[in-house]
Amino acid sequence: MKLKETLLNTTETEDLSIDELGEDHMATASDTPLRPDAFELDDNLKIELIAKHFKEIMHVLGLDLTDDSLKGTPYRVAKMYVKEAFSGLNPKNKPKATLFENKFNYTEMIVEKDITFYSHCEHHFVPIYGKAHVAYISSGKVIGLSKINRIVQYFGKRPQVQERMTNQIAEELKNVLETDNVGVVVDANHMCVSSRGVADTNSKTGTAYFSGLFREENTKREFLNYINSK
């Protein structure tokens, strides 16, 4: 049966026996887990299918879908998922990074800090939000600063685990910039910690990736001191 027909006719609920998976922010792979047929459906059909299923979720919860405030919610949620919150799943949305010659022969680190991102925990589909700090040392090329922000946001806009997102940002920058000298630090708030479960509203989660010269203690300390300065 084709994927479209399978999804349109799905009525069975999945096995929920692995309820505990995801309580401890674990990732099962460095790459975002995607099926080989992930992009066979176009965005419009994905929105239609998600709206259908989200409408059923709302119905099961007992909500009155004839109410003016609620009847458009399934479509709004579906459109938000496909076009905004999870748009980073689709490779066609990956930002195209233009490199420029390092004409000034600038050899020190270049830092872009406090990059705001919004993501979603892949275990409970609730928000993760925070700041990413990125640094690199040019190998002869430099990148437009806004492209660094876009790369961070691209990998944030998918169901995520913070450790994976940190690695994905760093690996993409290494590939684009053609240098191993990259540092990434991410500080984030997880709503699955603050709004449910342990309900701790004060804690934050920090992750880091250092490669090349950023593994050296002096370079790493310079980067960390800079992002922690006001």
Mind listing the pLDDT tens digit for each residue in 34-87? 999 999 999 999 999 999 999 999 999 999 999 999 999 999 999 999 999 999
Same structural domain for residues 165 and 76? no
**Is 29 part of any domain?**
no
pLDDT in tens, 130-176: 999 999 999 999 999 899 999 999 999 999 999 999 999 999 999 99
Looking at the fold, whether 64 and 113 belong to one and the same domain comes out as: no
Mean pLDDT, residues 7-26 taken together: 52
* Active site annotation includes 192: yes
Selecting among 25, 120, 133, 190, the annotated active-site residue is 190
Domain end, chosen from 50, 85, 120, is at 85
Instruction: Choose the catalytic residue: 112, 122, 153, 172.
Output: 122
Strand partners, 132: 115, 186
Q: Are residues 116 and 206 in the same domain?
A: yes
Single out the residue in 85, 118, 151 at which a domain terminates: 85
CATH number at residue 80: 1.10.286.10
The reported pLDDT for the residue numbered 145 is 87
Task: Let me know if residue 28 belongs to a domain.
Answer: no
Does 22 fall in a domain? no
Q: Would residue 92 count as lying in a domain?
A: no
**CA atoms within 13 Å, Cβ hemisphere of 193:** 13
Which residue among 25, 112, 120, 123 is the active-site one? Answer: 123
Q: Are residues 48 and 133 in the same domain?
A: no
Same domain, yes or no: 79 and 103: no
Is-catalytic flag, 122?
yes
Residue 123 known to be catalytic: yes
Max Cα distance, the chain (Å): 64
Cα distances from 22 to residues 27, 104, 158, 192, in angstroms, run 8, 47, 16, 10
Number of domains in the chain: 2
Is 144 domain-assigned? Answer: yes
Among residues 48, 124, 171, 222, the one annotated as catalytic is: 124
Identify which has the larger pLDDT, 173 or 18. Answer: 173
Residues 142 and 222 in one domain: yes
Specify whether 112 is located in the same domain as 57.
no
Q: What is the mean pLDDT of residues 175-181?
A: 95
Q: Which of 120, 133, 160, 162 is catalytic?
A: 162
Report the range of poorest mean pLDDT among 25-39, 66-80, 104-118, 176-190. Answer: 25-39
Do 49 and 148 lie in a common domain? no
Looking up residue 107, the CATH number of its domain turns out to be 3.30.1130.10
* The one catalytic residue among 121, 153, 168, 172: 121
- In terms of domains, do 176 and 106 share one? yes
Q: Are residues 140 and 173 in the same domain?
A: yes
CA angle 99, 105, 106 (to 5 degrees): 85
Residue 156 belongs to domain spanning: 99-228
Conformational region of residue 91, where left means phi above 0, alpha means psi within -120 to 50, and beta covers everything else? alpha
